[in-house]
Amino acid sequence: MIPSSSAARATGVLVRPVSLGSLTVRNRIAMAPMTREFSPGGVPGADVAEYYARRAAGGVGLIISEGTYVGHASAGTSDRVPRFHGEDALAGWAAVAEAVHRAGGAIVPQLWHVGMARAVGAPPVPEAPRVGPSGVPLDDSEPGRTMTRADLDEVISAFAAGAAAAEANGFDGIELHGAHGYLIDQFLWAHTNRRTDAYGGDAVSRTRFAAEIVAACRRVVSPDFPIIFRMSQWKMGDYRARLAESPQELEAVLNPLAEAGVDAFHCSTRRYWLPEFDGSDLNLAGWAKKLTGKATISVGSVGLDTEFLKAFQGQGSGVADIDGLLDRLERDEFDLVAVGRALLGDPEWATKILDGRTDELTPFSTEALARLH
């Protein structure tokens, strides 16, 4: 149980609104993007709309959807992950946005291209090749195809089309998935980006592709339509990977993105309380805000006593206090906190935290992964 003193403090800290571009988020709690694979054929249905609306009704200020594939043949690796292109899928997403708004929340879709994380022959387009900056896989799988200039242009256009569709279908902004070793991150990471053209080499050159995606999205939406960029040091399957070993190296990655039009950085870590660099207690989101002046979102095992890897091993998590998180929010080290598994286990987690009903919090169980509740 979280002590009552912590519960009262949480109400005061988390209830404050925050602005991202034209969007005012009613509190500091976001729902983290979590792939659920409950959209057959890539089309989100009424159950998906109810799933997200339930979290908005439960007090979440900003919902960041699960990753949604942009309109490029090689973007995906499952026909149960939702698309963000095509009339049928966009109609489903418009219904999701409407449901979330009715419940009092705001929502942005996360736009995603998996790049070399795509499995050979996988749906939704089995014949599509695996592509990446240099065709370098993240694991011991076979190499893929190095992207040509035409490929780059097609993917940039696909992200821009997704951004325009988000605004046209009533969403409150977008998030670009530039983390965890997927396509955009494969360009940022020296291990997977071996290019010798303008899109490879030093950190700034490796950022060019991501910056061009941001700029293309910015051109097709309203000037104050929020663009969030999710980034990480770690990759799926390589938790020791790093884009930056120092604040200076991180600044080289983030500043071109900020200049291209990013409004907020969503900094993915596995444990929000861990310092990112020696000599400072700032986590990744704290450093991103300090270096760019942009709003940031922190994430990582919020409200739980184990990290997310335990869920993949069939282990649940107990409730943990959030005093350390509140300390950082009070110091304005970052602006929002994204909550993942705690919201899967308890759709009313946010309201219970904000109302001080922490004795009613439901621990996370892996059973929550098997259903869309």
Ordered DSSP codes for 21-34: TTEEESSSEEEPP-
| DSSP classification of residue 147 | P
Q: How far is CA 229 from CA 54, 198, 264, 324, in A?
A: 25, 22, 6, 25
Ordered DSSP codes for 327-354: HHHHTTS-SEEEE-HHHHH-TTHHHHHH
Q: How far is CA 171 from CA 75, 141, 217, 227, 255, in A?
A: 21, 37, 14, 12, 26
Three-state secondary-structure class, residue 215:
helix
Give the active site residue among 51, 52, 69, 182. 182
Ordered DSSP codes for 127-146: TPPPEESS---SSSSPP-EE
Residue for token pair 């973007």: 75
Residue 59 buriedness (CB in 10 A; 0-12 / 13-18 / 19+)? buried
Six token digits for residue 75? 């973007």
Contact by Cβ (8 Å): 336, 28: yes
* End-to-end C-alpha distance for the chain, whole angstroms: 24
Contact by Cβ (8 Å): 296, 286: yes
Cα 281 from chain centroid?
Answer: 23
Active site residue 51: no
Cα 136 from chain centroid?
Answer: 23
Residue for token pair 């200049």: 259
Catalytically active residues, by annotation: 182
